[in-house]
Amino acid sequence: MKMIQDNLENDMHSHISQTGKDISLIVMHPKTWENLCKDVWANKSMAIYIYDNSLKYNGIKVFRSFDMVDGLFEVR
């Protein structure tokens, strides 16, 4: 079973390789954010700091929107 964090990392690498630009924003559904946090913390990863409310993934701002489909990401 593929984890949410793996899917996001793949999307991020794909975006960078296609555009040659750094990522400045990640957009996702609020439920996807919750599941991503659980995934990251279960793996003891530091991609999302557990005691920080900044809504960042590896230093990239995360915007949560109900307009997104749960489980999908938009990397900009």
Q: Tell me which H or E stretch contains 37.
A: helix 30-42
Residues comprising the chain, all counted: 76
Which single residue is written with the structure tokens 């659980």?
38
Extract the tokens encoding 76: 């900009």
pLDDT per residue as tens digits for the range 8-58: 999 999 999 999 999 999 999 999 999 999 999 998 888 998 888 889 999
* Residue-range definition of the domain harbouring residue 22: 4-75
User: What domain count does the chain have?
Assistant: 1
pLDDT score for 2: 65
Q: How far apart are CA 28 and CA 8, in angstroms?
A: 10
